Structure 1
Amino acid sequence: MDLKEFTVGELMVKSYIVSQAGQAVIIDPGAEGERLFDYLKNNNLELKYIINTHGHFDHIAANEFLKEKTGAEVLAHPKANLKFTDPKLNLSALFLSHKVTAPAIDRSIDDGESLKFESLTLKIISTPGHSEDGISIYIPEENILFSGDCIFANGIGRTDLEDSDFKELKNSVEKKLFQLPASCIFYPGHGPSGNLGSFKNSVWPAIS
């Protein structure tokens, strides 16, 4: 498995391209679609899935470009669909001078589901709190997690938004993410990667 990360857009979102055997998955193409597409093209990668960890504008803004260029299947939590098409719900109407929309989800994915991608398993974990449609993606074969805006290396996603809930985020972290191996490396929606055990022992006590 190859993993390439990009920092894109005004809010410096992390977009991740997971690839194997000429196939690719992109997680959270938040902006700069041409740059992401160029990487795919230059590395002879066929994009199979676009997966969004939630539907906020800074994580979906390049969906349309990549969908049109590649025909990849767009996957997200079922509750994300409203955000894709509503600039108020995806917060672009609140935070940007222009409105962001994205094509509708091709297939919804929810807690407990698994996607086979080449020799890898992408396990979907529902992690609401920052956003009610939040998901994280765990790849057991590599012991890595894509945590969206649920947790960051040094903190958590904000919970003061309309569909945020700190109690839900706390449950997502303690009842779901902390069930994964402490050695798990997680790749968040913003900032550097982290170690789940270190987060649990050094970061979480000051938050919870």
Structure 2
Amino acid sequence: MYELIQIGERSYYIQSPAKIGIYLANDQEVYLIDSGNDKDAGRKIRKILEQNGWSLKAILNTHSNADHIGGNRYLQQQYGCDIFANGMEAAFTKYPQLEPALLYGGYPFQDLRHKFLMAAPSEAKELTDSGFPKEIEVIPLPGHFLDMVGFRTPDQTVFLADCLSSAAALEKYQLTFIYDVEAYLNTLERVAAMQAEIFVPSHAEPVKDIRPLAECNRKKVLEIADHITEICREPITFEALLQRLFSDYQITMTYEQYVLVGSTVRSYLSYLKDSGKIEGYIENNSLLWKKIREEG
């Protein structure tokens, strides 16, 4: 863990729970793509940089989930480097308490205010601000989170952030976190059509052909959407639906899983309602979800 691996002429990644990318701008300066999950990850990154005689010029954050920005504050304090993030991701990086608040749907109780859901705050600039490396292409990857992006380096290495899960992770966790299901499916379609020397997903192994993994993720999303639709053949409340899905997919409920899976299921309900497959209605002061009957 935290092994430095070269994958392009000037591109590397650090093997960690969420892969950390490195682009070597010149012999001394590097750009970091994400920063790991906490201060300890930041220390390990700094050690790698020092061993190679590299100085950190800036951090490019793909998105603001805590496991991708957790090392930001430590590294910014050590190097005085800029941090760049996209749109709403920049706001969540500055004010990370927004993440557990979004997931919970209100003020998060203390058990949700920890480093796995809420990183230390750091100052972030927009990707359009001066100082962002012009040689690095920004790739919009909406769906998993608010304004997530990936990055393509000049040696044609593409860092794909969290837009893809490994086949093993999909089999184990089933309901991986998605903020916007329709946007996520559109992102998978665009990613499948991309060409590059190598693709580096944050939570899967690097590959030269991304199409099989993109299709695997697409099929899982559609499978879950269909399963939720079938459960809604009879009117059901959100909490009853969530309990059913935890049981069906053999997921152990914890506070963290409740908010992560719960938020994802709400996103599926929005997707299915907006696409005309289910309806929501109020009865006896309860919001019920029900499959819309197909004509004929």
| Unaligned segments of structure 2, at least 5 residues | 1-8, 102-107, 223-296
Aligned to 2:161: 148
Choose which of 138, 145, 150 in structure 2 pairs with 1:124: 138
Q: Compared with structure 1, are the counterparts of its residues 69 and 84 closer, same or farther at alpha carbon in structure 2 (3 Å cutoff)?
A: same
Choose which of 8, 13, 16 in structure 1 pairs with 2:18: 13
Q: Compared with structure 1, are the counterparts of its residues 204 and 13 closer, same or farther at alpha carbon in structure 2 (3 Å cutoff)?
A: closer
Q: Which has the larger displacement, 189-198 or 89-98? A: 89-98
- RMSD, matched Cα: 2.9
How many residues align? The count is 192
Aligned to 2:89: 80
Query: How far apart in 2 are the matches of 1:124 and 1:158?
Result: 27
Query: How far apart in 1 are the matches of 2:140 and 2:202?
Result: 15
Report the alpha carbon displacement of residue 158 of structure 1 after superposing the two structures with TM: 6.1
Choose which of 98, 101, 126 in structure 2 pairs with 1:108: 126
1:22 is the counterpart of 2:28:
yes
In 1, are the aligned partners of 2:140 and 2:150 still within 8 Å (CA)?
yes
Choose which of 54, 64, 73 in structure 2 pairs with 1:45: 54
Q: Compared with structure 1, are the counterparts of its residues 130 and 180 closer, same or farther at alpha carbon in structure 2 (3 Å cutoff)?
A: same
In 1, are the aligned partners of 2:156 and 2:198 still within 8 Å (CA)?
yes
Q: Give the strand-richer structure, 1 or 2.
A: 1
Amino acid of the residue matched to residue 81 of structure 1?
Answer: A
Report the alpha carbon displacement of residue 160 of structure 1 after superposing the two structures with TM: 4.4
Query: How far apart in 2 are the matches of 1:96 and 1:14?
Result: 24
1:64 is the counterpart of 2:64:
no
Query: How far apart in 2 are the matches of 1:129 and 1:197?
Result: 18
In 2, are the aligned partners of 1:56 and 1:91 still within 8 Å (CA)?
no
Aligned to 1:180: 194
Query: How far apart in 1 are the matches of 2:147 and 2:198?
Result: 22
In 1, are the aligned partners of 2:94 and 2:121 still within 8 Å (CA)?
yes
Q: Give the helix-richer structure, 1 or 2.
A: 2
Q: Compared with structure 1, are the counterparts of its residues 131 and 205 closer, same or farther at alpha carbon in structure 2 (3 Å cutoff)?
A: closer
Q: Compared with structure 1, are the counterparts of its residues 46 and 158 closer, same or farther at alpha carbon in structure 2 (3 Å cutoff)?
A: farther
Amino acid of the residue matched to residue 24 of structure 1?
Answer: V
In 2, are the aligned partners of 1:53 and 1:136 still within 8 Å (CA)?
yes
Q: Compared with structure 1, are the counterparts of its residues 76 and 158 closer, same or farther at alpha carbon in structure 2 (3 Å cutoff)?
A: farther
Greater C-alpha radius of gyration: 2
Amino acid of the residue matched to residue 84 of structure 2?
Answer: L
